[in-house]
Amino acid sequence: MTAGPSVEPSAEQLRTRIPADVLALCQRLRAAGHRAHLVGGGVRDMLLGRPPADFDVATDAVPDAVLALFGHTFAIPTGLKHGTVTVLTDAEPRRPVEVTTFRGEGDYLDGRRPSSVSYVQSLDEDLSRRDFTMNAIGFDPVDGRITDPFDGQGDLRRRLIRAVGDPVARFREDGLRPLRAVRQAAQLEFEIDPPTRRAIPQTLDVVRKVSAERIRDELFKMLGARQPSRGLRLMQETGLLGVVIPELLEGIGCAQNRFHKHDVFGHTLAVVDETRGDPVARLGALLHDVGKPRARQPKDDAPGEFSFFKHEYVGADLADEICRRLKLANADRERVVAMVKNHMFFYMPDWTDGTIRRFVRRVGGSAGLADLFALREGDVRGRGFGEDPDGEIGELRRRIAEVASADAALRVTDLAIDGRDVMRILGVSPGPRIGVILERLLDCVLDDPSLNERERLAALVPEVAAQFSERTGPPPARRPS
C-alpha cells in the first residue's frame, strides 16, 4: 500500500497548490458577487498530494450568468441540462474547467442519471448530493476555506471510500456509483467502508440499468490504475463483475496445469497488473484467456492436466462480443480482439525471415506487435516465477528488427524488373499506374524474397495489374508502420 501524506496540507498550503489560472477563474466569479468553490476530484487529489485529473468549480451563479461573465468564446454551455458551463482558463494551453451551479439531487426516476436538475442555494446542499465523502469537500481558494460537512478529510486519512448518507439509497439513485466506488478504490488504493461495500450486492439491479458507455468509461479508468486487480477483485466479490463481464467468472476455479500457480481468473488478474500499456492493452490482457474455460479438455496422457486447444479463437469471439456490448470504438475493439487471437505465438530459432515477415503481417504490424509483446511480458511476469520476459521474446524482437532494417533498405529500384518491363508486359504507356504496380511487386518480394527474379516477377505482373484495376482506392501501405 502506498503511504498517504503524513501531514495533510493546511488550507493555506492547499491554496498555494492551486494553479494560477484556476485561482483567477474563481476570483473573477467572486469579483462579480458570486461564490466559487473547488469541489470533487480536484480537491480530493490535492489533499492527497496527487496531481488532479481536472478541476471542477461549484458556484451559486446560474449558467447564464457564467456565460455572460466569461463570454461565449471562453465559456461553452457543455451541460446546461446539468447546470454546467465549461470555462476555458487563460493558461497556455487553455484549461477547461467545469463550472456547475449548486445543484440538488434531481429525481432519479430510473437509476440511470438525474432526470431533472434543481438548483440549490448552498454549497452544503450541493455537497450532499455527491457520491462519496472524499468527493464532497469544497475549497474556496480565494478565502482559503475548506468546507467538509461529511468528514471527507477523515476518510482520506483512513483511506476509506464512504457513501454520503445511506449507501443503499445513494446507489439506488444512480447505479454508476458502485462502479465509481470500486474504480476509485483501485485508483487510490483505498478500501471501501464496509456498509458502503455491503450496499453493492444489494443494488446490482440498478447497475444493470446503467448505459454501456458509462460502464465502459469507469472500466477504462480502473484499467489505468497501477493495479487494476484491486478493482477487479472487488468487482468479483461484490457481484459487479457478473454484471459487467460475466464471462470472466468462468475462470474462477478453472485449474490449468503445473506451469500455472493460479486458476485462470487469478492468472488473468496477475497478467493485467503486469501488462504495461494503455487501458485498451490492459483490456486485451484481461480478456486474453477468456476462452480458456470453454476450450478446456482433460489430457488423456496426463491425469489432472488440461489442454486449451484453440482457446485463443474461442476467446477472440467472446472478446469481440464483450467489446461490442461495452460499446468500444471499433479501433479499440479490433486491438483487443487481435491481442486475444494472436497471443499464442511461440518463437523458434528455425523461423526464417519469411516466417518473421508473415508473423509481423498477421499480427497487424508494429502496433499489433507492441500490444502482443506488452501482453507477453505481462504474462511472464504474472506467472510469478521471477522469469525474465526478455528470455521469451528478446530473440524474436531482435529478429524482427533485423528483418525490418534489411527490408527498409529494399526499394522499388532493387526489383529485378523495372517500369519499362512492366509497360512492355502489359502493352501500356507510362502513367502513375506503373509505379503502383512496382510498389505492389515490392510488397510481394518483401513477403517472399525468392520472387525477386526477372522471370518470376514478370509472371506476376498481369495478376498484380488486374488486382489494382479492380481496386477503387489506393493500394494499402507497403509496410506496416
Q: Which is nearer to Mg ion, 52 or 266 (CB)?
A: 52
Least distance to ligand ATP, CB of residue 130, Å: 4
Cβ-proximal residues to 104 (8 Å cutoff; 6+ apart), any chain: 117, 118, 119, 120, 125, 126, 129
Q: Which of residues 12-41 bind ligand ATP (CB under 6 A)?
A: 40-41
Q: Which is nearer to Mg ion, 57 or 319 (CB)?
A: 57
Piece of 35-43, 200-208, 378-386, 391-399 that binds Mg ion (CB under 5 A) = 35-43
Q: Which is nearer to ligand ATP, 222 or 264 (CB)?
A: 222
Residue 480 binds what, of ligand ATP, Mg ion, none (CB under 5 to 8 Å, by partner type)?
none
Residue 288 binds what, of ligand ATP, Mg ion, none (CB under 5 to 8 Å, by partner type)?
none
Q: Which of residues 166-205 bind ligand ATP (CB under 6 A)?
A: 174, 176-177, 180
Piece of 14-22, 49-57, 157-165, 192-200 that binds Mg ion (CB under 5 A) = 49-57
Q: Which is nearer to Mg ion, 57 or 245 (CB)?
A: 57
With binding defined as CB under 6 A, does residue 377 bind ligand ATP?
Answer: no
With binding defined as CB under 6 A, does residue 131 bind ligand ATP?
Answer: yes
Residue 177 binds what, of Mg ion, ligand ATP, none (CB under 5 to 8 Å, by partner type)?
ligand ATP
Least distance to ligand ATP, CB of residue 49, Å: 14
Residue nearest to Mg ion (CB): 41
Pattern 50-79, ligand ATP, x by CB under 6 A? ---xx-x-----------------------
Least distance to Mg ion, CB of residue 122, Å: 22
With binding defined as CB under 5 A, does residue 389 bind Mg ion?
Answer: no
Least distance to Mg ion, CB of residue 395, Å: 44
Pattern 207-226, ligand ATP, x by CB under 6 A? --------------x-----
Q: Which is nearer to Mg ion, 148 or 379 (CB)?
A: 148
Piece of 54-62, 187-195, 204-212, 389-397 that binds Mg ion (CB under 5 A) = 54-62
Piece of 48-56, 195-203, 290-298, 411-419 that binds ligand ATP (CB under 6 A) = 48-56
Residues that bind Mg ion (CB under 5 A): 41, 54
